[in-house]
Amino acid sequence: MKFIIPKIPFILSVLLSLSLLLLFFFAFPSSSLLRPSAAGDIRIRRRYSSYDAYIHHQLNKTLNPKLRKVWTTRDWDRKVRVFSSFFLRLRSRGLLSNHSKCLSIGARVGQEVAALRRIGVPDAIGIDLVASPPLVVEGDFHAQPFPRDTFDFEFSNVFDHALYPEKFVGEIERTLKPGGVCVLHVSTSGRTDKYSANDLLSVKPLVQLFRESKLLQVRKIDGFGLDTELVFRKKKS
């Protein structure tokens, strides 16, 4: 017995460890986990009881009447002007043209779409959880309501709101045409709001999520609290 008794605590600890491991995988299924290469610098802020709970939390911001009034009045001209300057720079570099079919992801009330149309890019539309006609249609960026290879150009500044970053990027690459361009504005300083679903601590894991695209440029910007612009081009083959 003197050789058996010391082994009992060890066996119990192993069984306990296995139980905790199984509990972890059942509580957080693989679809909700980041790939190990991305997990370090993309941190999901919280877990929701369901996807509907996450959507409800996001709608608290999207449908906030005070915010929507600000977006459509006081902020409108300023944001359209700044977005226009961003898009003009991209057009001057040949990354956007007047004939591009464009999508703005997480467009709220459509300031980015209005900016594209102002600079002479008429074929532009936005998606958000709530439609804002005529500039924004209803759509979830985790499952875009468009066929494969639809757009020449996609823009978003709401990556921090993605609960599933891989799905967010995967939908961009699915709906972007081969040779098409994607531009993301992100924060790597943690300066996001309470509705953000993730924190991006460096651009490296975000770049790794783009499996079908090549990174063209990373530069610092001042984009309404966001500090970094990344430009990708989807590979043609």
The pLDDT tens digits for 14-51 are 343 434 333 333 333 433 433 333 446 899 988 899 99
Q: Same domain for 8 and 99?
A: no
Q: Same domain for 8 and 73?
A: no
How much is the pLDDT for 21?
A: 34
- Region of poorest pLDDT, from 24-28, 79-83, 107-111, 115-119: 24-28
More confident residue, 223 or 63: 63
Give whole-number Cα distances, 189 to 24, 49, 63, 88, 129, in Å.
30, 28, 27, 26, 26
Q: Are strands 102-105 and 124-128 parallel, antiparallel or unpaired?
A: parallel
d(C-alpha 198, C-alpha 212), whole Å: 23
Q: What is the DSSP secondary-structure string of 176-216? A: EEEEEEEEEEE-SSS---TT--EEE--SHHHHHH-SSEEEE
Q: Same domain for 95 and 137?
A: yes
Q: Is the pLDDT of residue 3 over 90?
A: no
* Contacts of residue 18, Cβ cutoff 8 Å, sequence gap at least 6: none
- Assigned token pair, 81: 């002007």
Share of the chain above pLDDT 90, in %: 76
**What residue ranges in 30-116 does DSSP mark as E strands?**
42-44, 102-105
**How many domains does the chain divide into?**
2
How much is the pLDDT for 44?
A: 92
- Region of poorest pLDDT, from 6-10, 48-52, 85-89, 221-225: 6-10
Please say whether the beta carbons of 204 and 34 come within 8 A.
no
Residues forming a β-bridge with 198: 44
Q: Same domain for 27 and 143?
A: no
Q: What is the mean pLDDT of the chain?
A: 86
d(C-alpha 181, C-alpha 154), whole Å: 6
How much is the pLDDT for 40?
A: 63
How much is the pLDDT for 14?
A: 34
Q: What is the CATH number of the domain that holds 112?
A: 3.40.50.150
pLDDT band at 237 (very low <50, low <70, confident <90, very high): confident
Domain that holds residue 70: 34-234
Q: Same domain for 23 and 95?
A: no
